[in-house]
């Protein structure tokens, strides 16, 4: 598939954008607001069982009954995005164009993980086994794509609710493989590498130890994970999920860790849903890029960086000041957010 999009770098700075006009043609099942109500109709949903021919052929699926690909009988199904932000051009990616106006083809992979057959399901309503299967599928697809030399970084994310960018309400998440390491990831990794050079310890392990000791911003804590309302939360009720075991890469977790994480997501997303009446949110993974042979910095990065998920509720709108400065204005102190999300311990 030829990517109709383009990756562009700002000549004045460091950020990249994806120009993807084809994305404007996506189907949109939502009525224009209000949208807290039931999340759209299943009547034309291309992700529902029985409509497998409405998506490109699946690249992976969990089919307990052993049913044939691209038919019903699946619990989790992974398909290429029909309206990808990036595509795989027919020819290999050319060298980036020289000069000030630097661009390259929108080269990448864009997949959709359909998390459950039930259109009305929510992550928090899945069984523990089903939630664990979603997390295992995420891990397996990340591993598979990271195994391809073309991709420098593979991003997993989930948009829930229209204000968070979802165009279909059927529970799903997305994976985008890119030929570059995005600036935001690079910044976080570089900060962690600098911290370790100075203090000899992982920044995230240190932060976690201090948060554990203080307790005020801990939302949930168990043997394997801690969920915090981060000190400098950009958004009201922002949550970060940290594994207690130091590891730079989510893609290397074991099956047991995936099961435990699935159960944790059920709990945390259920609390968010109940406490804030099912708010729109984005869920994102941050991890170190896959190690490539001969990459001298990878060893240092794997000691310094610590994978985590960020859950970003969409309750406020970034406006002039945020866009101008990159400084978010958050009306809810994280200490209060933690208290609210801790209280609902159902
Ligand atoms: Zn559906
Ligand atoms: Zn660590
Ligand atoms: Zn992060």
**Proportion of the chain above pLDDT 70, given as a percent:** 85
Six-digit token string for 120:
């009305």
**Proportion of the chain above pLDDT 90, given as a percent:** 66
Q: Which pLDDT value is given to residue 322?
A: 84
Q: Which residue has the higher pLDDT, 212 or 39?
A: 212
pLDDT tens-digit series, residues 135-145 = 999 999 999 99
- Closest ligand to residue 114's CA: 1
Q: Which pLDDT value is given to residue 19?
A: 67
Q: Which pLDDT value is given to residue 33?
A: 39
Q: Which pLDDT value is given to residue 320?
A: 87
Kindly tell me the sign of the dihedral angle through the C-alpha atoms of 113, 285, 17, 168: positive
pLDDT tens-digit series, residues 280-325 = 999 999 999 998 878 888 889 999 999 999 999 999 888 888 888 8
- Closest ligand to residue 245's CA: 2
CA 206 / ligand 2 centre spacing (Å): 7
Q: Note if the pTM is more than 0.85.
A: yes
| pLDDT at residue 96 tops 90 | no
Six-digit token string for 131:
């939630």
Q: Which residues contact 269 (CB under 8 A, 6 or more apart)?
A: 122, 123, 124, 311
- Closest ligand to residue 309's CA: 3
Are the beta carbons of 181 and 56 closer than 8 angstroms?
Answer: no
Residue tagged 């307990």 (tokens): 64
CA 108 / ligand 3 centre spacing (Å): 22
Q: Which pLDDT value is given to residue 24?
A: 63
Q: Is 172 a catalytic residue?
A: yes
Q: Which pLDDT value is given to residue 217?
A: 94
Using CA atoms, how far residue 281 sits from 156, 160, 172, 221, in Å, is 14, 5, 13, 22
CA 46 / ligand 1 centre spacing (Å): 6
| pLDDT at residue 175 tops 70 | yes
Query: Per-residue DSSP letters for 8-36?
Result: EE-TTSS-EEEE-GGGGG----S-SS--S
Residue list, CB under 5 A from ion ligand 3: 286
- Closest ligand to residue 305's CA: 2
Are the beta carbons of 158 and 169 closer than 8 angstroms?
Answer: no
Q: Which residue has the higher pLDDT, 127 or 317?
A: 127
Six-digit token string for 198:
């100075």
Are the beta carbons of 251 and 139 closer than 8 angstroms?
Answer: yes
Where helices occur in the chain by DSSP H, the ranges are: 128-146, 183-199, 203-214, 255-275, 297-304, 320-325, 334-343
Confidence of residue 190 (pLDDT cuts 50, 70, 90): very high
| pLDDT at residue 55 tops 60 | yes
Average pLDDT over residues 177-196: 92
Average pLDDT over residues 322-331: 84
Residue list, CB under 5 A from ion ligand 2: 202, 204-205, 246, 306
| pLDDT at residue 34 tops 50 | no
CA 309 / ligand 3 centre spacing (Å): 7
Tell me the pLDDT of the chain averaged across its residues.
Answer: 87
Six-digit token string for 170:
């059927």
Q: Which of 176, 105, 184 minimizes the C-alpha distance to 145? A: 176
Burial class (CB in 10 A: 0-12, 13-18, 19+), 288: buried
**Which listed residue (170, 172, 240, 286) is catalytic?**
172
Average pLDDT over residues 261-287: 96
Average pLDDT over residues 250-278: 95
Count CB neighbours of 225 within 10 A: 21
Kindly tell me the sign of the dihedral angle through the C-alpha atoms of 228, 215, 232, 154: negative
Are the beta carbons of 146 and 290 closer than 8 angstroms?
Answer: yes
CA 116 / ligand 1 centre spacing (Å): 9
């Amino acid at each position: 598939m030829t990517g109709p999009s383009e990756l562009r770098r700002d000549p004045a700075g460091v950020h990249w954008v994806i120009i993807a006009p084809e994305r404007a043609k996506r189907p949109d099942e939502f009525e224009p607001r209000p949208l807290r109500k039931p999340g759209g109709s299943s009547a034309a949903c291309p992700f529902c069982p029985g409509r497998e021919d409405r998506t490109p052929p699946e690249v992976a699926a969990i089919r307990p009954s052993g049913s044939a690909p691209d038919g019903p009988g699946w619990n989790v199904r992974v398909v290429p995005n029909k309206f990808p932000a990036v595509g795989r051009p027919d020819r290999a990616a050319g060298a980036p164009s020289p000069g000030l106006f630097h661009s390259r083809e929108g080269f990448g992979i864009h997949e959709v993980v359909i998390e459950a057959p039930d259109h009305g399901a929510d992550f928090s309503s899945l069984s523990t086994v089903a939630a664990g299967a979603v997390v295992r599928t995420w891990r397996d697809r990340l591993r598979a794509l990271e195994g391809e030399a073309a991709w420098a970084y593979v991003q997993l994310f989930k948009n829930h609710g229209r204000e968070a960018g979802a165009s279909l309400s059927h529970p799903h998440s997305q994976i985008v493989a890119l030929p570059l390491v995005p600036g935001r990831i690079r910044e976080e990794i570089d900060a962690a590498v600098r911290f370790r050079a100075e203090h000899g310890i992982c920044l995230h392990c240190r932060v976690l130890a201090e948060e554990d000791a203080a307790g005020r911003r801990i939302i949930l804590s168990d043997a394997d994970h801690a969920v915090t309302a981060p000190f400098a939360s950009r958004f009201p009720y922002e949550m970060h999920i940290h594994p207690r075991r130091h590891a730079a890469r989510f893609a290397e977790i074991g099956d047991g860790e995936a099961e435990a994480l699935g159960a944790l997501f059920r709990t945390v997303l259920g609390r968010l849903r109940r406490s804030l009446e099912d708010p729109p949110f984005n869920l994102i993974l941050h991890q170190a890029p896959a190690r490539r042979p001969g990459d001298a910095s990878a060893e240092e990065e794997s000691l310094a960086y610590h994978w985590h998920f960020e859950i970003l509720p969409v309750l406020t709108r970034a406006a002039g000041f945020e866009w101008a400065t990159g400084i978010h204005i958050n009306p809810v102190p994280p200490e209060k957010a933690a208290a609210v999300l801790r209280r609902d311990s159902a």
